């Protein structure tokens, strides 16, 4: 039908309307990467301010805004989207599918995230950013003046809806779209972690959705949820936030676990050690992740019984996590290890993440947490797990899957410089912060007095931040060089083991000419060992059904973006704000209506337009 000719249209239009998981993955990567740079810049400003005692580079409310936006941006607008970039780019290929279950919703999820992120960041130009921390505790958040917190609530609400949609999409994709023979216990570990992470998204994000509604109602419509003088209770916000928030940290780290598992196994030329234990540990971590939220609230005064239960539950998570650590080490053990950049990041990840886990268990000891809480010790902990864990994992994934996503391999020499500067910079930045915390330096303060002995370690920490900046710049430089000078590589540049390496480069629009037949774990490796050059097909070459592109997701998200503005200025904007709300929500509803009204059966790529036979990765 009409879409078969989409290629003739302008390429901007193609990007706005695409429902192809490969392109949506690239969109996620570019926008997530962009927000990562913004968040990184904010981090650098924070570190410059803290470089020496009583500094006046960035103080007071502006410091609070930069700090809040750093955390919020990194979690919601950088880490989550880059994870979704990999899920889009890799999961359908790893399970031998031609697309995700809901290509239209996939696009909608991306555009909601994108417009939500833009809305939040526009606050910088419209009277000031949110300033109550990424956790937005009430009543600080309900009483914060200006519109910053309104941007926070509405921007994240819109972005969060996109995330939820993405989560459901990947759950259904993984359950329903696996190629013949791809049983659950043959799925690559990255797909497994994407699966569990999607499940966590499904059950954690709706809590946050409600939290944001309550906060918005308190701020915009004068509700009293968190206003103690009217019978409200600010502790409810903390519960809701952390019922979402702790699963969220596992939403972030599980896909990194998956990436590390793929990379370590490929570059050790070995099957992942203890595959089924790895799967079980992933499921268990996901499950336990919902039962520990109150470890963020030990000092609230929930009582010794509640604190003990949550302390023990928290410590229990260290067990499945430890299982994973050992399995990675045993995978490397005796393997033919290749220290590619991806593998360097993976190997760097292992001890770094262990350190974050150890401080986690320390924090989980409730009585001791009265000392650590809200100090730099906590800052050190979560940066070890998020930067030392997640971000190193994301870098490993980028270097590993770049050839799959873009057809070219990132430069390995620059890559190694990238790794060492970032890795050393990371430890330089965050290791001293453990001790700063133990010495009593509180988090989120914009300065510290002279004469407390905090100066030198803060200085080292700032130097480390500059090293990480160099590492990031090298990475950006690497991307530019690669696209300018790099050569196309084969479809299987790493001697891969899983299905995403079984197809030609660049990946055809329809992914697999013939759906592959999966005969075991590490499906491609099994065929290689059997002396086959490519996968055994599960079907003859035939017509391929594909979904139609659509502009509706973009317009729908734009509608909610406009409505978001209306709500933000509801109390100050008068009639104009009301118009924005009505028009914006109207656009959203009309798009939903159109989606329901217009029959959309997709189209077929006909057999005569396809290659005669599947040539595998080396087409």
Partner 1 sequence: MNVGERLTDQNFPESPEKATLEGKNKFLGFWLFLGGETVLFATLFGTYLGLRNSFGKGPEASEIFQLPMVFAATIILLTSSLTSVYAVLALKENRVKAMRGWLFVTLLLGLSFLGLEIYEFIHYVHEGHTFTSGAFGSAFYTLVGFHGGHVLFGCLWLSTLLIRNSGRGLTLYNSPKYYLFALYWHFVDVVWVFIFTVVYLLGKVG
Name the site residues for Cu ion (rule: CB under 5 A): 246
Q: What is the token pair recorded at 55?
A: 């500094």
DSSP string across 11-80: HHHHHHH---HHHHHHHHHHHHHHHHHHHHHHHHHHHHHTTSTT--SS-HHHHHHHHHHHHHIIIIIIIH
Residue with tokens 């030329």: 269
Residue 361 binds: one of ligand HEM, partner 1, Cu ion, none (C-beta under 5 to 8 A by kind): ligand HEM
43 touches ligand HEM (CB under 6 A): no
Q: At a CB cut-off of 8 Å and minimum separation 6, what does 46 contact?
A: 58, 63, 66, 67, 70
For residue 442, what are the β-bridge partners? 375
DSSP string across 218-261: HHHS---TT-GGGT--HHHHHHHHHHHHHHHHHHHHHHHHHHHH
341 touches ligand HEM (CB under 6 A): no
Residue 217 binds: one of Cu ion, partner 1, ligand HEM, none (C-beta under 5 to 8 A by kind): partner 1
Q: What is the token pair recorded at 412?
A: 């390995």
Strand residues in 517-587 grouped as ranges (E) = 544-546
Name the site residues for partner 1 (rule: CB under 8 A).
101-102, 164, 168-169, 171-172, 175-177, 202-207, 209-211, 213-214, 217-218, 221-225, 227, 230-233, 236, 239-240, 243, 589, 593, 596-597, 599, 601
Rounded Cα distance, 18 and 20, in Å: 6
Smallest separation (angstroms) from ligand HEM to the CB of 367: 12
Smallest separation (angstroms) from partner 1 to the CB of 167: 8
Rounded to 5°, the CA angle 480-482-488 comes to 145
253 touches ligand HEM (CB under 6 A): yes
| Listed residue (549, 559, 566, 567) closest to 591, CA to CA | 559
Give CA torsion, residues 353, 357, 358, 359, to 10 deg.
Answer: 100
Distance of CA 158 to the CA centre of its chain: 16
Please identify which residue in 167, 286, 348, 357 interacts with ligand HEM, judged by CB under 6 A: 357
Parallel, antiparallel, or unpaired for β 544-546 and 603-605? antiparallel
Give CA torsion, residues 233, 234, 235, 241, to 10 deg.
Answer: 130
Q: At a CB cut-off of 8 Å and minimum separation 6, what does 581 contact?
A: 563, 566, 567, 570
Please identify which residue in 329, 361, 438, 555 interacts with ligand HEM, judged by CB under 6 A: 361
Q: What is the greatest pairwise CA distance in the chain?
A: 79
Smallest separation (angstroms) from ligand HEM to the CB of 595: 36
Assess contact for 189 and 258: CB atoms under 8 A: yes
Smallest separation (angstroms) from partner 1 to the CB of 101: 4
Rounded Cα distance, 93 and 506, in Å: 13
119 touches ligand HEM (CB under 6 A): no
Cβ proximity to partner 1: between 575 and 599 the closer is 599
Smallest separation (angstroms) from ligand HEM to the CB of 190: 17
CB-count burial class (<10 Å; 0-12, 13-18, 19+) for 574: exposed
Cβ proximity to ligand HEM: between 112 and 249 the closer is 249
Residue 386 binds: one of Cu ion, ligand HEM, partner 1, none (C-beta under 5 to 8 A by kind): ligand HEM
Contact segment (CB under 6 A) with ligand HEM among 36-44, 56-64, 124-132, 246-254 equals 246-254
Cβ proximity to ligand HEM: between 322 and 611 the closer is 322
Assess contact for 180 and 211: CB atoms under 8 A: no
Residue 601 binds: one of Cu ion, ligand HEM, partner 1, none (C-beta under 5 to 8 A by kind): partner 1
Half-sphere exposure of 146 (CA within 13 A, CB side): 18
Please identify which residue in 158, 260, 385, 556 interacts with ligand HEM, judged by CB under 6 A: 385
Rounded Cα distance, 272 and 522, in Å: 9
Smallest separation (angstroms) from ligand HEM to the CB of 381: 6
389 touches ligand HEM (CB under 6 A): yes
Cβ proximity to ligand HEM: between 317 and 344 the closer is 317
Residue 612 binds: one of ligand HEM, partner 1, Cu ion, none (C-beta under 5 to 8 A by kind): none
Cβ proximity to Cu ion: between 246 and 497 the closer is 246
Smallest separation (angstroms) from Cu ion to the CB of 359: 12
Cβ proximity to ligand HEM: between 381 and 497 the closer is 381
Residue sitting closest to Cu ion (CB): 246
Cβ proximity to partner 1: between 102 and 494 the closer is 102
Please identify which residue in 85, 159, 204, 252 interacts with ligand HEM, judged by CB under 6 A: 252
Smallest separation (angstroms) from partner 1 to the CB of 102: 6
Residue 481 binds: one of Cu ion, partner 1, ligand HEM, none (C-beta under 5 to 8 A by kind): none
Cβ proximity to partner 1: between 239 and 528 the closer is 239
Cβ proximity to Cu ion: between 386 and 577 the closer is 386
Smallest separation (angstroms) from ligand HEM to the CB of 460: 22
135 touches ligand HEM (CB under 6 A): yes
Q: CB atoms < 10 A from the CB of 92, how many?
A: 28
Rounded to 5°, the CA angle 268-269-274 comes to 75
314 touches ligand HEM (CB under 6 A): yes
Cβ proximity to partner 1: between 214 and 410 the closer is 214
Q: What is the token pair recorded at 187?
A: 């799925």
Please identify which residue in 144, 321, 433, 469 interacts with ligand HEM, judged by CB under 6 A: 321
| Listed residue (396, 73, 415, 405) closest to 255, CA to CA | 396
Residue 366 binds: one of partner 1, Cu ion, ligand HEM, none (C-beta under 5 to 8 A by kind): none
Residue with tokens 């700063």: 436
Residue 363 binds: one of ligand HEM, Cu ion, partner 1, none (C-beta under 5 to 8 A by kind): ligand HEM
204 touches ligand HEM (CB under 6 A): no
380 touches ligand HEM (CB under 6 A): no
Residue 214 binds: one of ligand HEM, Cu ion, partner 1, none (C-beta under 5 to 8 A by kind): partner 1
Assess contact for 559 and 587: CB atoms under 8 A: yes
Residue 275 binds: one of Cu ion, ligand HEM, partner 1, none (C-beta under 5 to 8 A by kind): none
Rounded Cα distance, 385 and 350, in Å: 11
Find the distance separating the first CA and the last CA of the chain, reported in whole Å: 28
Residues found near ligand HEM in the complex (CB under 6 A): 135, 249, 252-253, 295-296, 314, 317-318, 321, 357, 360-361, 363-364, 369, 372-373, 378, 381-382, 385-386, 389-390
């Amino acid at each position: 039908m009409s879409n078969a000719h989409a290629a003739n249209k302008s390429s901007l239009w193609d990007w706005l309307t695409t429902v192809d998981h490969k392109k949506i993955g690239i969109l996620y990567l570019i926008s997530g990467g962009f927000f990562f740079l913004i968040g990184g810049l904010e981090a650098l400003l924070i570190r410059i301010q803290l470089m020496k005692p009583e500094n006046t580079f960035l103080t007071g409310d502006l410091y609070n805004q930069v700090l809040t936006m750093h955390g919020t941006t990194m979690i919601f607008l950088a880490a989550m989207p880059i994870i979704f970039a990999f899920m889009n780019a890799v999961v359908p290929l790893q399970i031998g599918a031609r697309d995700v279950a809901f290509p239209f919703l996939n696009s909608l999820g991306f555009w909601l995230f994108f417009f939500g992120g833009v809305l939040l960041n526009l606050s910088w130009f419209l009277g000031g950013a949110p300033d109550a921390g990424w956790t937005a505790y009430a009543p600080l958040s309900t009483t914060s003046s200006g519109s910053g917190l309104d941007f926070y609530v509405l921007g994240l609400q819109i972005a969060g809806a996109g995330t939820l949609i993405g989560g459901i999409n990947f759950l259904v994709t993984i359950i329903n779209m696996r190629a013949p023979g791809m049983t659950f216990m043959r799925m690559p570990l990255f797909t497994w972690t994407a699966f569990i992470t999607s499940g966590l998204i499904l059950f954690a994000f709706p809590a946050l959705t409600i939290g944001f509604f309550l906060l918005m109602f308190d701020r915009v419509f004068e509700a009293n949820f968190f206003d103690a003088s009217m019978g409200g209770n600010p502790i409810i916000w903390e519960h809701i936030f952390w019922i979402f928030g702790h699963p969220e940290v596992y939403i972030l780290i599980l896909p990194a676990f998956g990436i590390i598992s793929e990379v370590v196994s490929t570059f050790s030329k070995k099957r992942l050690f203890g595959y089924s234990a790895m799967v079980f540990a992933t499921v268990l971590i996901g499950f336990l992740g919902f039962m520990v939220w109150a470890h963020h609230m030990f000092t609230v005064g929930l009582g010794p019984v509640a604190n003990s239960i949550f302390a023990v539950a928290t410590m229990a998570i260290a067990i499945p996590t430890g299982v994973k650590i050992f399995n990675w080490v045993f995978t490397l053990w005796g393997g033919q290890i290749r220290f590619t950049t991806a593998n360097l990041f993976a190997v760097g990840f292992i001890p770094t993440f262990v350190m974050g886990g150890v401080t986690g268990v320390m924090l989980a000891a409730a009585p001791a947490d009265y000392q650590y809480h809200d100090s730099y010790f906590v800052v050190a902990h979560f940066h070890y797990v998020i930067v030392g864990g997640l971000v190193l994992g994301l870098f490993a994934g980028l270097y590993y899957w770049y050839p799959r996503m873009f057809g070219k391999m990132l430069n390995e020499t620059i890559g190694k410089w990238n790794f060492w500067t970032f890795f050393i910079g990371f430890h330089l930045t965050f290791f001293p912060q453990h001790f700063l915390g133990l010495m009593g330096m509180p988090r989120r303060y914009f300065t510290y007095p002279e004469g407390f002995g905090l100066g030198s370690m803060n200085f080292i920490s700032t130097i480390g931040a500059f090293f990480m900046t160099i590492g990031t710049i090298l990475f950006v430089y690497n991307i530019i060089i690669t696209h300018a000078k790099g050569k196309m590589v084969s479809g299987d540049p790493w001697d891969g083991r899983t299905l995403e390496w079984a197809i030609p480069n660049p990946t055809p629009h329809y992914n697999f000419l013939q759906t592959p037949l999966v005969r075991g774990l590490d499906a491609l490796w099994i065929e290689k060992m059997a002396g086959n050059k490519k996968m055994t097909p599960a079907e003859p070459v035939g017509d391929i059904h594909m979904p139609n592109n659509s502009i509706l997701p973009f317009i729908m998200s734009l509608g909610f973006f406009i409505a978001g503005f209306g709500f933000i200025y509801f109390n100050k904007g008068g009639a104009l704000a009301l118009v924005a709300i009505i028009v914006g929500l109207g656009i959203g509803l009309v798009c939903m209506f159109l989606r329901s009204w217009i029959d959309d059966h997709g189209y077929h790529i006909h057999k005569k337009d396809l290659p005669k036979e599947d040539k595998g990765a080396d087409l």
